[in-house]
Chains A and B, each alone.
Chain A
Amino acid sequence: MKRRSVLITGATGAVGSELLRRLAQRPVSVNALVRRGDDRQAEITSILSGVPLAADLAVVAGDICAGPAMGLVPEAVASLTRHTTHIVHCGGSTSFSLPLGEARRVNVEGTRNVLEFARSCPLLESAAFFSTVYVSGRRSGTFAESDEGDGGFGFVNTYEQSKAEMEALVRAAMTELPILLLRLSTVVGDSRTGAVRGFNAVHQAIRLLYNGLAPMIPGDPGERVDIVSSDFVADAALHLIDNHPAGGVFHLATGAEASTLDDLIGSTVDSLLQFRPAWRKRSIERPLLVDLDTYELFVRSVEETGNDVLRSATRSIRTFAYQLAHPKLFETRKTFAALGGSGITPRPPLDFYPRVVKYCLESNWGMQQC
């Protein structure tokens, strides 16, 4: 039986690093494509710290944006093409504030190059492409695994749009390649330790609340906010890659069991009080949940005042907060059915979310070693 050979992109990211730690414990070949020029070797070493290595692991310097050869030297391209059986494409930009052209360059053109590479791999058994449930954009209501894109409602940020465009490419390739399209909910951290590798908008919102700079958020208290743990996403993704080579679209989300926005904010406040008791002295109020018009009026006022700190705070919230004005439920029926019997299920968010808040506090949002 031929040995599995996995090419993984984005191995230093929030999800990629979890996948790498798991793949490294398997008797497979793993080629981690990291961006040339960055000191990613040290980062890979850090990610694999404490992991019992069973894989043949190689770190390959390249760039998914540098054409179909992905910036690899010809010998490396030839070797990878010849041996790769699985592609796990986590690479890309998760920034919400990139100009659309830059977001497209990384998320669309980068994916186009990975697809082109995939087409050249004769032994390819499976190619997993990571996307986001927020390709749904400004849609409201139930978003099923079979649904595509924003449905004409538009997008909240360039990340969503570029990922939706990326999905269109991937979907088109599904007829010729064994592709899994894995749409992730918002990954907030490890459910057991709370550890966060990639700090994102949720963590930024926690930080603004902690600093008393988040007076209001658009949204309805009862709407559901879908968050998932990085370990669930990694376990579920590998299970699907292992067991569903025929491919398909899956939602790695909490779905109907997602917490309400009100509960999530309440849990944030409770956690800050529990893990940083002195925070109580600051008497910071819970952010108000307001309608979109009120929020926009507030944002406009902040913009007009020219106050840099508040402007920066509202801008960082705006990049995702408008999503809260378009509540939706991410259907997970197909995914949960595919995971049936594996024991892999998303944990109730409020069971582990406090640990994530604690990690944010203790690491000072990644600035300090925990």
Chain B
Amino acid sequence: MSLTETSVEMPKRRALTESPLVRGQSRSTSAGIAALAEYLPPRVATLSELAAEGLLSGSAETLASFGFGSVHLAGEESNLEMAVAAVEKLFVENDIDRDEIGLVLYATALSSSSTMWNAGSPRTTKVSPDSGAGSSPGKGSRLEPVLELNEVADLFRYPATQLQSELDLPNAAVIGINQLGCASIFAALRVARAMILAEDDLISVLCVSADKFPPSHKRDLIYNVVSDGACAALVRRGAARNRIVECSHVTKGALWDAGSLENEILAAYFPTAKSVIDRTLEKAGLTIDDIALVIPHNVSLRSWEILGRLIGCPPERVYTDNIRRVGHTVASDTLLNLRLAEESGRIKRGDLLLLFTFGYGLNWACMVVEH
């Protein structure tokens, strides 16, 4: 399957509530998530199907009791193809002018996602009149993964820049954000906001996240079930929609080794999560009672029951609807949930939302946005 063959239903256009600012317009001191889109692979597997395929190390019953039901599994599509699909959906649905995008932040969680290992075709980048930058490769052009390091050039091929090429974003510089686990997209949003506020000529930043779990690996990870997926968000200067009010990010490098420190990581999760959430609210001059809805990452429902109690938030104000249906899409959960919360009518303009995630590395990230 090539990049163009990614099977995504063509989204319908919808009007953005704000127009992009143009150069020369007065500089806004805020930024918001003006548009959101996601891509979930069409194949869905239930816990029992995962167990039957040998893709669970723990018991399906226990995982079900933690709130999981099914996950999306990528087939042939690579993580980069999923990223492209999410962005194309974002562009089409929101009628976005590609030229307004001055920066792409490609945020990935898995180490494999930030290399060409899972990026799909490493196409020869020779530009011919028939195949300009951004055009899709022809059928059969896919090669095997290139992380073979047969030549020095293999060390300098990057999925983030290939993404820019695929998306035809000539005005956009590209930065890869990784090594933050599932918190990578939060780092992208934070950096996007900071750069927009710092650079006069930067209007819009495209934040993209995509991760494809290694196909043969067990899908349950510290009692969560991992799904494949991608999300894309347009952070725009002055956007009133999902205005980023405040964010916090804590890294605990002492717990970097996910393989050997699982117990310590599990034990650190709740106290640090509460601390990061409390700190974010305090910085924003808010309390949890001001938050209309918590937009979580799709980890165990039980863990959200506990964390909800710790931060003083009742279960009905934590948007956990997608844990059972989607599972944990690594870095894409929170934006996916934000979009679905919008679509479901659970939130209205002006609502204050608290977004939270946790990622290996070890990272906790929290953000308050005004919808």
B306–A297 touching, CB < 8 Å: yes
Q: Return 15 A-B CB contacts under 8 Å, by A number.
A: A212-B264, A212-B267, A212-B268, A213-B267, A216-B310, A285-B275, A286-B271, A288-B270, A291-B309, A297-B302, A297-B309, A298-B270, A301-B306, A304-B66, A306-B58
B266–A310 touching, CB < 8 Å: yes
Provide the residues of chain B in CB contact with A215, threshold 8 Å: 267-271
Q: Does B252 sit within 8 A of A, measured CB to CB?
A: yes
A 296-311 binary contact with B (CB < 8 Å = 1; else 0): 0110010011110110
Q: How far is the CA of A281 from the CA of B254 in the complex (A)?
A: 7
Q: Does A214 sit within 8 A of B, measured CB to CB?
A: yes
Q: How far is the CA of A297 from the CA of B263 in the complex (A)?
A: 18
Provide the residues of chain B in CB contact with A216, threshold 8 Å: 270-271, 310
Q: Which residue of A lies closest to B59 (CB)?
A: A306
Question: What class of interface size applies to chain B in its complex with A?
Answer: 20 to 34
Provide the residues of chain A in CB contact with B266, threshold 8 Å: 307, 310
A304–B62 touching, CB < 8 Å: yes
Provide the residues of chain A in CB contact with B269, threshold 8 Å: 215
Provide the residues of chain A in CB contact with B270, threshold 8 Å: 215-216, 288, 298
Q: Within the complex, what minimum Cβ distance (angstroms) separates A237 from chain B? A: 39
Within 8 A of B (CB), among A159-194: none
Provide the residues of chain A in CB contact with B252, threshold 8 Å: 283
Provide the residues of chain A in CB contact with B65, threshold 8 Å: 304
Q: Within the complex, what minimum Cβ distance (angstroms) separates A19 from chain B? A: 38
Contact with B268, one of A281, A284, A294 (Cβ below 8 angstroms): A284
Within 8 A of B (CB), among A262-292: 281-288, 290-291
Provide the residues of chain B in CB contact with A301, threshold 8 Å: 66, 300, 302-303, 306
Within 8 A of A (CB), among B177-191: none
Provide the residues of chain B in CB contact with A297, threshold 8 Å: 302, 305-306, 309
B306–A298 touching, CB < 8 Å: yes
Q: How far is the CA of A216 from the CA of B300 in the complex (A)?
A: 18
Closest 8 CB pairs of A and B: A285-B271, A309-B263, A294-B309, A283-B252, A282-B254, A215-B267, A212-B264, A213-B267
Q: How far is the CA of A293 from the CA of B255 in the complex (A)?
A: 29
Provide the residues of chain A in CB contact with B275, threshold 8 Å: 285
B272–A294 touching, CB < 8 Å: no
B 46-87 binary contact with A (CB < 8 Å = 1; else 0): 000000000000100010011000000000000000000000
Provide the residues of chain B in CB contact with A214, threshold 8 Å: 267
Q: Which residue of B lies closest to A211 (CB)?
A: B264
Residue numbers of B with Cβ under 8 A of A are 58, 62, 65-66, 223, 252-255, 262-264, 266-272, 274-275, 300, 302-303, 305-306, 309-310
B267–A293 touching, CB < 8 Å: no
Q: How far is the CA of A301 from the CA of B266 in the complex (A)?
A: 11
Q: How far is the CA of A310 from the CA of B305 in the complex (A)?
A: 19
Q: Within the complex, what minimum Cβ distance (angstroms) separates A280 from chain B? A: 9
B62–A305 touching, CB < 8 Å: yes
Provide the residues of chain B in CB contact with A284, threshold 8 Å: 268
Q: Does A57 sit within 8 A of B, measured CB to CB?
A: no
B309–A293 touching, CB < 8 Å: yes
Q: Within the complex, what minimum Cβ distance (angstroms) separates B64 from chain A? A: 11
Q: How far is the CA of A213 from the CA of B263 in the complex (A)?
A: 7
B271–A288 touching, CB < 8 Å: yes
Q: Within the complex, what minimum Cβ distance (angstroms) separates B277 from chain A? A: 12
Q: Which residue of A lies closest to B251 (CB)?
A: A283
Within 8 A of B (CB), among A288-344: 288, 290-291, 293-294, 297-298, 301, 304-307, 309-310, 313
Residue numbers of A with Cβ under 8 A of B are 211-216, 281-288, 290-291, 293-294, 297-298, 301, 304-307, 309-310, 313
Told that A288-B270, A305-B223 touch, could you supply 12 new A-B pairs with CB distance under 8 A?
Answer: A212-B267, A213-B264, A215-B267, A215-B269, A215-B271, A283-B253, A284-B268, A285-B271, A286-B271, A294-B306, A298-B270, A301-B302
Provide the residues of chain A in CB contact with B274, threshold 8 Å: 288
Q: Which residue of B lies closest to A214 (CB)?
A: B267
Given contacts A215-B269, A216-B270, contact A310 B263 (CB under 8 A): yes
Provide the residues of chain A in CB contact with B62, threshold 8 Å: 304-306
Provide the residues of chain A in CB contact with B302, threshold 8 Å: 297, 301, 304
Q: Which residue of A lies closest to B275 (CB)?
A: A285
Q: How far is the CA of A291 from the CA of B263 in the complex (A)?
A: 23
Given contacts A211-B264, A281-B254, contact A290 B271 (CB under 8 A): no
Q: Within the complex, what minimum Cβ distance (angstroms) separates A16 from chain B? A: 35
Given contacts A212-B267, A305-B223, contact A285 B310 (CB under 8 A): no
Q: Within the complex, what minimum Cβ distance (angstroms) separates B254 from chain A? A: 5
Please indicate which of the listed interface residues B65, B267, B272, B300 has the most CB atoms of chain A within 10 Å of its own CB.
Answer: B267
Q: How far is the CA of A216 from the CA of B271 in the complex (A)?
A: 8
B263–A307 touching, CB < 8 Å: yes
Q: Within the complex, what minimum Cβ distance (angstroms) separates A218 from chain B? A: 12
Q: How far is the CA of A286 from the CA of B268 in the complex (A)?
A: 10
Q: Within the complex, what minimum Cβ distance (angstroms) separates B42 from chain A? A: 31
Provide the residues of chain A in CB contact with B223, threshold 8 Å: 305
Given contacts A213-B263, A298-B306, A301-B303, contact A287 B254 (CB under 8 A): no
Provide the residues of chain A in CB contact with B253, threshold 8 Å: 283
Q: Which residue of B lies closest to A301 (CB)?
A: B302
Q: How far is the CA of A288 from the CA of B266 in the complex (A)?
A: 14
Q: Within the complex, what minimum Cβ distance (angstroms) separates A173 from chain B? A: 47
